[in-house]
A and B are shown apart, each in its own frame.
Chain A
């Protein structure tokens, strides 16, 4: 379970870069889509931070 956020963060970061470089869609660069995926990548890293500090007070259990 602790590996999942890291994998998702990496996938989101790669998609963000592909959007920014115009490789995801043939129609060109999609800056905003890239920003959204970069934001999701950061959120996944935050999720990892909470998951790696496994205790009853993790985000999912407390919120």
Chain B
């Protein structure tokens, strides 16, 4: 239940869900076997719950986006429709993270899975957010730029945000945090940058879960079936509440509180692991 709540919240808050699933069990001295089929199946259903929550939250948006995408393919032309442009921006942003994720995820996460290194990446995540906010305010002050709407981005900008999102392959770097920072540096406001980040995260999280679905058919999985179903529902509810909170939060606030959170948690965890208070 704790892992389900952790997944639902940390997947969407810019604080790195992967980092938290490495650091917190290590701090609490839980022995989690990440290669155990029951654990893998549990993780798959948690991701499914999160993806379904995101689809439900943005369901009108998704209906419009998918309809506009199909329409543009049938016509073989792009119109000036906002939904069509957003659909193509989502595709442009998903390609880098899909390619890098499939080809490098296991290697990268195998290299950097130690709780001490993850703590340092969490600190780096904090600095990415601080730096993003600082550059953004400098840009706004120096050039008198105005915020652009999401649909005004071109496909190269979509790919840039996709690459930024790929930084989340490093455990401790947040997917939504890096995508929001990239959006801010492309002159989106916080609200649109967060929305683009959540829309981009949906196919990635869903695909990650769907591609791992065979894990659910491992022989031992029936032993954790009830826990998995309950976990999926809990992760879905917390993810829905998180995205509802964050979309409101980013209407008037920025990333800095999450940066401070990551900085403090990262430094405290690193100190505890480095001094072997927790081993």
Binding site for B on A (CB under 8 A): 31-33, 35-36, 39-40, 43, 46, 49-50, 52-53, 55, 57-60, 62-63
Contact = CB atoms under 8 A, between A and B. Distances in A.
Mostly helix, strand, loop or mixed at chain B's interface? Answer: helix
Contacts, number: 45
Interface of B: 73, 75-80, 85, 88-89, 91-92, 95, 98-99, 102-103, 154-155, 158, 211
Nearest to B210: A35
B78 A57 contact: yes
B102 A32 contact: yes
B102 A52 contact: no
Given A43-B91, A63-B88, A63-B154, A57 B103 contact: no
B98 A36 contact: yes
A52 B78 contact: no
Contacts of B78: 50, 57-59, 62-63
Given A36-B98, A43-B91, A63-B85, A55 B77 contact: yes
B88 A57 contact: no
A63 B73 CA distance: 14
A50 B102 contact: no
B103 A33 contact: yes
Given A35-B211, A52-B76, 9 more contacts: A32-B102, A32-B211, A33-B103, A36-B98, A46-B73, A53-B75, A62-B85, A63-B89, A63-B158
Contact of A39 (B88, B98, B155): B98
B76 A36 contact: no
Query: Ordered nearest first, which 10 A-B pairs have the shortest CB separation?
Result: A53-B76, A62-B78, A63-B155, A57-B77, A49-B76, A36-B102, A32-B102, A32-B211, A63-B154, A50-B76
Contacts of A58: 77-78
